[in-house]
Amino acid sequence: MAESAGVRKNFVGEYRLSLGCGAFIFILFTLPGSLASSLRHKFWFLKFLTSDSFVHFAAMALFSLALAFDYLRERKLIPWFRVVMISLGYGIILEMIQMVIPGRTFDLRDMVFDSAGVIFILIILSLSPQKWGHKHFCFRQRSGKSK
């Protein structure tokens, strides 16, 4: 029993950034529609930030970035396929949960923006080798003879 608790503590420790980010996104995406709408009217500066498309794009980009950092911190490599699949799966699950929340709906457009946020982070991090270095990425190296 003690060993099981140790494994769980290690998991939470390894993925604390992505778990925290995921929890924040879960709360944000499961707010009733009426509450999100009232926040837009009370705080004028939140109008852009609470644009549904922007929120989905930014939230999933942030989640993917947090997951990549967690992998990088513990393993020194970022398994991008896993990061993308986990992030997209989480976005799909959140959309399905929204079907049962008053004032929220399942929307394919939201899933497109979720996916765009994930892909955006993948591109940004893969294009900045001076910061990350190619050694941190788990992309397969092509083995072949150049002609």
Low-confidence ranges of the chain (pLDDT < 50): 1, 133-134, 139-143, 145-147
What does DSSP assign to residue 136? G
pLDDT tens digits, residue range 39-55?
666 665 556 555 678 88
Question: Nearest CA to 56 among 83, 33, 88?
Answer: 88
Q: Taking the chain, what is the end-to-end CA distance rounded to the nearest angstrom?
A: 59
Angle (CA) 102-106-109 rounded to 5° is 130
